[in-house]
Amino acid sequence: MWSLKRFPALWLLPALLPVALMTIYPVAYALWTSLHSVMLLFPGEPFVGLDNYKRVVSSNYFQDALRNSLVFTLLAAPLVVVIGTLIALFLQRRFFGSQVVRSIVLLPWVLPGAISAVLWIWVFHPSFGVLNGLLRDLHLIDGSIPWLTSPRYALVSVVVAHVWTQIPFAVVLLMAALSGINSETLEAAAIDCRSALKRFRYIVFPEIKAMIVVLVVYNALTAFTSYDLVYAMTGGGPGTATTLLSFQIWRESFSMYDFGSGSAVAFIVVAISAVLIVAITRALPSDLFAEE
Partner 1 sequence: MRTLFAAGMLATGILAAQPGAAEDLTLEFVVWNYSLETIQDNVKKFEEANPGIKVKVTDYTWPDYQDSLVLRFRGNTPTDVIYGGQDWLPAWGAAGFIAPLDSVSPAGAVDELKKDIAGFALTDVTYKDKVYGLPYYADTISFIYNKKILADAGIAVPTTWEEVTAAAEKLKAGGMEHPIVYEYNQELPNFYDAFVAQAYGRGAELFDKDLNPLFADPNNEAFKQLQWLADAYAKGLVQSETHESKIIPAMNTGAHAFTIVYTYVLAALNNAADQPRAGEFALAPMPGSTHATLGFAKSYVVTAQAAADPARADAAWKFVDFMAGQPYTVAKRWAVEKGLGFAQLPLFQDKDVIDAWGKWADVKSLGDQAAIAKAGTYTEYSSVWSAYFRPLLAKAMVGEASVEQTMKDGADRWNQLKEQFANR
Residues in the site for partner 1, rule: CB under 8 A? 40-43, 61, 121, 125-128, 143-144, 146, 148-151, 231, 234-241, 243, 250-251, 253-258
Angle between helices 25-34 and 259-283 (to 10 degrees): 110
Of 105 and 117, the one with the shorter C-beta distance to partner 1 is: 117
Q: How far is the CB of 66 from partner 1 (least distance, A)?
A: 15
Q: How far is the CB of 122 from partner 1 (least distance, A)?
A: 10
Of 45 and 207, the one with the shorter C-beta distance to partner 1 is: 45
Of 147 and 164, the one with the shorter C-beta distance to partner 1 is: 147
Q: How far is the CB of 29 from partner 1 (least distance, A)?
A: 12
Q: How far is the CB of 159 from partner 1 (least distance, A)?
A: 18
Of 127 and 195, the one with the shorter C-beta distance to partner 1 is: 127
Of 25 and 254, the one with the shorter C-beta distance to partner 1 is: 254
Q: How far is the CB of 61 from partner 1 (least distance, A)?
A: 8
